[in-house]
Structure 1
Amino acid sequence: MDQSEEMRDDECLSGSASPLFSPSEGNDSSKHLLPIWSSPSLELVDDLSSTQDVDSTPCSSPTEISSDGSKEKRISVVWNHCKKRKVEEDLVGESKQQVSMDCYHFDPNLVRRKLANMVILHEYPLNMVEHIGFREFSASLQPLFKMVCRNTLKRDIFKIYDYERGKTFMELEKIPSRIAISTSMWTSSNKRRQFMLVKAHYIDDSWTLESRFMRFIYVPSPHTNEVLSNALLDCLLEWNVDRKLSTVVVDDYGTTDAMIKILLDKFQISSLILHGSLLHMRCAAYIFNLIAQDGLAVIGESIDKIRESVLFWTTSKKRNKKFEEAARQLYISSTKELILDSKTHWNSTYLMLSTALVYKDVFLHLRQCDSSYNCIPSEIDWEVVKDVCGTLELFYDMTKFVSGTTYPKASMYFHYMCQVKIELSECIVSSNEVIRKMASNMLEKFDSYWNVVDRIMGVAAVLDPRFKMKLLEWCFPTIYGDTAYEEIEKIRRIFYDLLEQYHSKEMDKEDSFANSSFCMTKGSQSKSLYEFDLFVSSELKCRNVKLEFDHYIEDGVLPRTPNFDILSWWKGNGVKYPTLQRIARDILAVPVSTVALESPFSTNERLLGPHRNRLHPKTLEALMCAQNWLQNEIKGSSSKLEGGTIQTILDDYDDLGVESDDTEPLEWNSFSCL
């Protein structure tokens, strides 16, 4: 193809409106021809014989109106040479795919806002805007956009933070229900700074469980109870939620009991649920981790022997292959692979032990076949590990249940706690001395947790129409024995107290309205008789509220179905149980754990990424909080999630070093040449 034809090709693909042939070329048929408009899917083909896999159907020519008024389609030699062909993308060299956007309006402020959102959402470093590669990429997308510097980007991030904070503040302000607060401590990866994350949990007007970051507070040393409680109190006062609290859920980063006592002394007790008796809630996942690690510590010697055996057979491919061959010879059908544990994550130790138990006979068989294998566990070791794994399995399942970014409903949590209590009570009378010692240590820690959360979690379980009081009547006799009836009545009395408090709060609103109406319309009526009428009405309504709870219990339990939604059920039964509905909206919003999904099995500190160690605390708080607020907006709009994910740059780390069948392994050094 000569140079003039290449120029015409470019005009055709770039959207030029000039005709392919001009009248000066002497073609008489040119007066019947109309210009060919641009299309990124068209490419001129000069030599038809040389094309492969090309659709041979000619493109339709433009329609022309003849002299008699009828429409007819003309086909010229030009259209015979213009064939449909898929243009392949080529990232090397110059691309032929050029699209004209004549009506495009460029808004640099919008681009800056989207850039700041991107950095916030995906945790990109702020100095990314100064990277040459990113600047060149941005310029290729829109040459008119002047890339901002790092300081300008930071100012844009603070503007987004202020705007989103205002929206979140107004959202929490408008919620009529109470708000549960959870706190957790974070540490910079260089161990020099610590931060307190404060989150709000509530059920919105559509009866959806929601959570929002409130503050990411830098807490200077020393981290005493007074310092931590003051930091939390200042946050609650700043957000105006101190009189709307339901509970405060804390992980055990200190003596939390003392911290809660300090808060109770500074709160207005009358504004809390039952004068603050239900305020304290401990993080379930953190407690379970401590209990599980105590149990594993008792059988440390047996674990070390099994760990040594697993290490022996997983150190080389040859030994691993020999182990698999022995498993096939013994007809063990399990496909589980031997894995070595991480001592800081008790779940990996549990998985290592449970897998080793499956291949117990293989270890015994290989002792006879390989003289170099001399670290075989004894029969007593296997028996002890088997008993311990049976108990740890319950903690493993329970920890997975309570951990996650979407917190489980509190009502489903109580029966798990009852199972743990029953399991440990049975282990305490085991004939095995090691198991008894393990259960004793675990039960001591569990009881300290149970005594704090049993009441509020019991209330949450009763508010589940699939359980009600029947769950307590079923499990309490096993847990408490002869005192089970008294414990059940405690939960019932808590409900009556809650109903009375919520009813009194509603009556205060009605009395305030009635008093104003009385002053305007009943000035001649005796005030004492009017107050008597209010007293009689209050007594009657209080009796009706208690009957509301009794009717709820007497209605029986609902069948447990997989897709049952407790929040939707209470949303639809507010007319029948109006006071209980308000209680359910407050109690069912309480989270049982503050631990994120990615770290539920470790008591190690939550660490910030190393690329954020040197950020100013205010900048770090703006990034952390704004990220949460923007993520919730995106999740609330399904259209924004199409074709994308809300991941951070750290999410790619798990993929490094994983090789596929058709790709070369990724090497970091390869980036130095780009």
Structure 2
Amino acid sequence: MNQFWTKRAQLFDAFKEAEYMVSITSDIWTAGKKGQPYCSVTAHWISEDDAMGSWILNKRILAFRVLPFPHDGQAIFEHILSVLEEFNIRDKIFAVALDNASNNASAIRILANSLLPMLGGAFFHTKCACHILNLIVKDGLQVDEVDSLLEKYYKALKFVDSSTKKKQNFAELCSRMGILSVKIPWDIETRWNSTYLLLKKTLHLKPAIDQALSRCPTGQLYRLNPSDWMSLEALVPSLDCFYTATVRLSATYTPTTSALLEDLVAISDWYEQQIKNLPEDSVLREALSPIRKKFLKYWSDVPQLTIIASCLDPRLKVSQTSRSLSIIKRKFGLDVNEQQLEDDVKNLFESVYKIYEKRYNRARSTQQQGRRGEGSSGVSQPSNLSGRGRGSVSRLLNILNKCSDTPIQQQSNTEIQIYISSDYATVKVDDENFDILRFWNQVKGVLPILSSMARDIFAVPVSTVASESCFSGANRVLTDKRTRLGPETFEALVLLKDWYDAETRLQDKSWMHMVPELGEIRGTNISSSSQHQNEGSQDVTQIYGFNPYQCNYEDYGYHLGDYESWNY
């Protein structure tokens, strides 16, 4: 455990010395079907990399511990608060990302009352965007027509994949027909994107599936008609924008707060195109109404944090941000007063700026170090942790017809006026590799207040994927054959793997990405095959000095205790 305690002390010192704001994510995982519930707490912040001349986005799992029953808001609050106090960052929390369960909403209210966040907590709770996307698409897929279509397809696939003999016969049939045979990635009921990937990976098997079903009377019961195949083939591109958004908003090293607006505009544009182009008798048309209803439930009003983040994107600023909000509303058939909307965006941007301006002026009046002023209001001291984040708005700008900001004619005498009226000619709007963190790091001498806003806001994740990503890793450490692992050792192994991955910027290639395409699947052992364990063991032996997947921990001096209740 020496490596764990050494790394933990280094992380504690980094938080102690730095004055940046920190955002956190948290989620709950249950080990196996009857196992203990664990709650992860993950920190996100932006530090400086002097060698690269850029700000870099960081993520560290701070805790992965058993959460006692009941799992109500008070218990979640106490768990999160204890971790924040343990690392002495209680007064540095900017935002908290949780999913949308009622107990999390209760925990957020208690946390807000305890921590007293800025702006009365307007930015404090970030609802998990990926969870919302999951709810939106699931509602669309669960309409009777689409659900029946998918059920027919599942039955057809199961017929050719239900036994070893059938699998072999089907593979031989594919070979004779010149079709690439693939292992069918069966979808997970709670994850719509696994349905999407199942369709995307298997629809090319259509000729082989149809021929295999036609060969016997039983198989003919599961044959799909041409209309069914057409609907299935149309479903995949219809879900592309949701899948793209889910992947982008799950990023570890790329700011996602401003990316959310781009994806919402893309989804609204997709919806409008579907309404215009889908035939009236299309099966997929029935899915549009529940999708619209669920989308507007959560995003009829785009989160204020996302609005501010978009205003801080020099390719969008205030005018393109307000226009994007207008487009979302209009494409979903809502009334909108564009001038009022732009005024509201300006007022919101200025109100947040004034708060940071006061904090910046207080910092200067106390004659603190110059770099504190550059990072403003206690949010910009560098640390020696590494990372990098990038972003792009090319899709959004195409939808916006690549409109430019209208120059402000009045004299620029505030940072906002300087920022809005400046023409950043070096910023290429179609550059997929535009580094927004590098941009704000480079202009912090001219725009110190706005840069401090950017530093806090771009560190906030809009999903809880960072916390969830450790669950599949935990699923490898705690297995059916290893059920007596002590809780402290278990936590140390999960955290230490994350911390070492952070040093080489591999957290976005962590456990969840080792399951081909399907991502993290909560509460299952799909990622614990011997193949993937062997893949994981290639580097962990060098990292830990032993293989945490294949060893007797007592041989290394770890006291595991007698945890009989851990026998799942």
Same fold (TM over 0.5): yes
Corresponding residue number in structure 2 for 1:341: 186
Worse overlay, 407-416 or 239-248: 407-416
Corresponding residue number in structure 2 for 1:166: 9
Structure 1: gaps spanning 5 or more residues: 1-156, 329-333, 515-541, 637-649, 659-674
Amino acid in structure 2 at the alignment position of 1:483: V
Report Cα offsets for 1:515-571 as digits up to 9, x if no partner. Answer: xxxxxxxxxxxxxxxxxxxxxxxxxxx962342343357879633223322211211
Amino acid in structure 2 at the alignment position of 1:395: F
Inter-partner Cα distance in structure 2 for 1:563 and 1:409 = 15
> TM-score, normalised on structure 1?
0.59
Inter-partner Cα distance in structure 1 for 2:12 and 2:533 = 40
Report Cα offsets for 1:579-617 as digits up to 9, x if no partner. Answer: 1111111111111222259969x99x9786226643333
Amino acid in structure 2 at the alignment position of 1:194: P
Q: CA deviation at 1:351?
A: 3.0
Corresponding residue number in structure 2 for 1:292: 137
Corresponding residue number in structure 2 for 1:466: 315
Corresponding residue number in structure 2 for 1:265: 113
User: Are 2:318 and 2:420, in contact at CA under 8 Å, matched by a contact in 1?
Assistant: no
Corresponding residue number in structure 2 for 1:669: none
User: Are 1:469 and 1:553, in contact at CA under 8 Å, matched by a contact in 2?
Assistant: no
Q: CA deviation at 1:204?
A: 0.7
Q: Does 1:480 align with 2:329?
A: yes
Match of 1:653 among 524, 530, 549: 530
Corresponding residue number in structure 1 for 2:292: 443
Q: CA deviation at 1:484?
A: 5.5
User: Are 1:503 and 1:545, in contact at CA under 8 Å, matched by a contact in 2?
Assistant: no
SS of the aligned residue for 1:483 comes to coil
Inter-partner Cα distance in structure 1 for 2:232 and 2:256 = 33
Root-mean-square deviation over aligned CA pairs: 3.8
SS of the aligned residue for 1:316 comes to helix
**Cα 1:219/1:462, change in 2 over 3 Å:** same
Q: CA deviation at 1:264?
A: 1.5
Amino acid in structure 2 at the alignment position of 1:191: K
User: Are 2:261 and 2:324, in contact at CA under 8 Å, matched by a contact in 1?
Assistant: no
Structure 2: gaps spanning 5 or more residues: 50-54, 369-411, 507-526, 536-568
**Cα 1:656/1:202, change in 2 over 3 Å:** closer
**Cα 1:178/1:656, change in 2 over 3 Å:** closer
Amino acid in structure 2 at the alignment position of 1:161: F
User: Are 1:310 and 1:340, in contact at CA under 8 Å, matched by a contact in 2?
Assistant: no
Corresponding residue number in structure 2 for 1:622: 492
**Cα 1:656/1:201, change in 2 over 3 Å:** closer
**Cα 1:190/1:254, change in 2 over 3 Å:** same
Match of 2:168 among 299, 317, 320: 317
SS of the aligned residue for 1:593 comes to coil
Inter-partner Cα distance in structure 1 for 2:104 and 2:468 = 24
Inter-partner Cα distance in structure 2 for 1:282 and 1:338 = 35
Report Cα offsets for 1:333-371 as digits up to 9, x if no partner. Answer: x74747352334433422333455445566666776765
Aligned residues: 452
Corresponding residue number in structure 2 for 1:179: 22
User: Are 2:323 and 2:342, in contact at CA under 8 Å, matched by a contact in 1?
Assistant: no
**Cα 1:308/1:506, change in 2 over 3 Å:** same
Match of 2:361 among 487, 507, 510: 507
Amino acid in structure 1 at the alignment position of 2:262: H
Q: Does 1:278 align with 2:123?
A: yes
Match of 2:345 among 491, 496, 501: 491
Inter-partner Cα distance in structure 1 for 2:534 and 2:17 = 49
The percentage of aligned residue pairs carrying the same residue is: 25
**Cα 1:213/1:340, change in 2 over 3 Å:** closer
Q: CA deviation at 1:477?
A: 3.5
SS of the aligned residue for 2:303 comes to helix
Inter-partner Cα distance in structure 2 for 1:434 and 1:599 = 35
Q: CA deviation at 1:411?
A: 2.8
Worse overlay, 437-446 or 337-346: 337-346
Inter-partner Cα distance in structure 1 for 2:183 and 2:286 = 29
Q: Which has the higher contact order (CA 8 A, sep 6+)?
A: 2
Q: CA deviation at 1:168?
A: 0.9
User: Are 1:194 and 1:218, in contact at CA under 8 Å, matched by a contact in 2?
Assistant: yes
Corresponding residue number in structure 2 for 1:454: 303
Spell out the pairing of 1:182-221 with structure 2 (5 A cutoff): 182-189=25-32, 191-206=34-49, 207-221=55-69
Inter-partner Cα distance in structure 2 for 1:320 and 1:652 = 22
Inter-partner Cα distance in structure 2 for 1:549 and 1:565 = 17
**Cα 1:555/1:243, change in 2 over 3 Å:** farther
Report Cα offsets for 1:209-240 as digits up to 9, x if no partner. Answer: 11122222321011011111122122223323
Decide which structure has the larger Cα Rg and report it: 1
SS of the aligned residue for 1:200 comes to strand
**Cα 1:248/1:234, change in 2 over 3 Å:** same
Q: CA deviation at 1:284?
A: 2.4
Q: Does 1:392 align with 2:261?
A: no
Match of 1:256 among 78, 98, 104: 104
Inter-partner Cα distance in structure 2 for 1:466 and 1:397 = 21
**Cα 1:582/1:632, change in 2 over 3 Å:** same
